[in-house]
Amino acid sequence: MKPPDAADHDDRHRLDKWLWHVRLFKTRSLAAEAVSGGKVKLDDERVKPAHAVRRGQLVSVTLRERAIELEVIDLPPRRGPAAQAQACYAETAASAERSARHHEQRRLAALVRPQPDHRPDKRERRQLDRLRRQQG
């Protein structure tokens, strides 16, 4: 039989640990840095990495230039496979729409950007560097 306070720990996790378990960050220390830096909010509030996260709460995460909102569905006991990790959260409808728009914009930007046939050699790379310095 579990001790009485062990049941309380089954329904909550540290925020940085949950972010790492669901594979939003590669390491737990990166997750903790993001939470401390204000890149992660829990129910629209800035919290510390050790703050408890529970099922049903909303987690807002800013990854590079993309912001996503997730609803906590499950609290995994360990960092498992990606499919299992993705089952632990659901992206909100508004966030999914923003993500789709963002992916479409990136796809269109990639079509406009020139794609060379080969990697630049040393001479071409120096010319590109010179051109970038003149423009910037």
β 58-63/66-72 pair status: antiparallel
Mean pLDDT of the chain: 90
Q: Return the DSSP state at 55.
A: T
Q: What is the pLDDT of residues 72-104, one digit of tens each?
A: 999 999 999 999 999 999 999 999 999 999 999
- Structural domains of the chain, ranges and CATH numbers in brackets: 4-114 (3.10.290.10)
Phi and psi at 74, nearest 5°, equal: -145, 160
- What integer pLDDT is reported at residue 114 of this predicted model? 82
Query: Which 3 state secondary structure label does DSSP give 107?
Result: helix
